[in-house]
Amino acid sequence: MKKILLAVVMAGLGLLTAKSQTAEAGISELADSMCVLLGSTEGGYTRNMISRLPESDRNRCREDYLKAMREVFSGDAYYADGLKRALDLYGFVRELESKGVKVDRNLVIEAFESGLDNTSLTREQIAANVKATNGLYDRLQAAVREHQAAVRKAQAAENEAAGKAFVDSLKKKNKSIKTTESGLSYRMVKKGSGKVTPQAGDKVKVHYTGRHIDGSVFDSSVERGEPAVFGVGQVIKGFGEGLQMMTPGSKYTFYIPASIGYGETGGGDRIKPGETLQFDVELLEINPKDE
């Protein structure tokens, strides 16, 4: 009887072992599938990001990414943790550099090593250092904002002067250019057949091309091949004012100074502080029914 019981137990253990091995194999297969999907997805995302870089930088960026991946995954946990701390500091430094602050990167590394080897540094001192760092960061941020405001103001003054000189020169050459009390200068290129002008609460359908005073285009519905539809009151003041002079079918050129344009701050990466802009505008419809 004991032999029979032993045989049954052994058979049961064998069955459990086989089931366990099958389960582990299934888990391993799922993990492998997940790793392949995770890696290929992240690789594809990175490839799309790299494709937006200048062509001269793409291969170097690809190799750097692969190098970082291989180093992290071939290292142990301590290396990965150290890399994470390095990336946190690096991100902080990059943030400062993006705001125009010159950072001595070697100084950061040297200070990190000094702190790493300073056995006399207590928890209380570390906490005090964190507080002091936060205070310095606030002061640095304030100084950066003040400096950036001064730079923008100087750029705005320079761009405003250049814009005024540009428009004044055009007006001397072309007497048909007129200027309103607000500072908007405009020229009628083509008179429309319509009789009604849009009001501040209306929508309009237009074709337009926006240019810098050097003639380069920064925005164009013409180039996109599709007219733009928007409210007269939803655009910069000078553009809205000019639209209210036009009748459907007319074409005008507007010369818009910063005071009724994007002001001293500019408009993102495309419009500089204090910049005078010129727009070629064709009014197609007022309150288009299909919009």
Q: What is the DSSP string of 213-242?
A: TTS-EEEEHHHHTS-EEEEGGGS-HHHHHH
pLDDT for 169 beyond 90: yes
Q: Are residues 97 and 164 in the same domain?
A: no
Domain-terminating residue out of 91, 117, 143: 117
- Domain of 174: which CATH number? 3.10.50.40
Question: Is 13 within the bounds of a domain?
Answer: no
Q: Count structural domains, the chain.
A: 2
205-258 per-position pLDDT tens digit: 999 999 999 999 999 999 999 999 999 999 999 999 999 999 999 999 999 999
94 in the same domain as 194: no
Residue 1 lies in a domain: no
Which tens digits make up the pLDDT trace of 104-147? 999 999 988 998 888 888 889 989 988 998 898 899 889 988 98
Domain boundary among 117, 144, 177: 117
Q: Are 239 and 182 part of one and the same domain?
A: yes
pTM reported for the whole predicted model: 0.64
Question: What's the alpha-carbon Rg for the chain, to the nearest Å?
Answer: 33
Domain assignment present for residue 207? The answer is: yes
Q: What is the pLDDT of residues 28-38, one digit of tens each?
A: 788 778 878 88
Q: Are residues 93 and 205 in the same domain?
A: no
Q: Where does the pLDDT of residue 162 fall: very low under 50, low under 70, confident under 90, or very high at 90 and above?
A: very high
Domain that includes residue 40, residue range: 30-117
Cα distance between residue 178 and residue 32, in whole Å: 72
Residue 13 pLDDT more than 80? no
Give the residue from 117, 138, 173 where a domain finishes: 117
Quick one: 206 and 101 in the same domain?
no
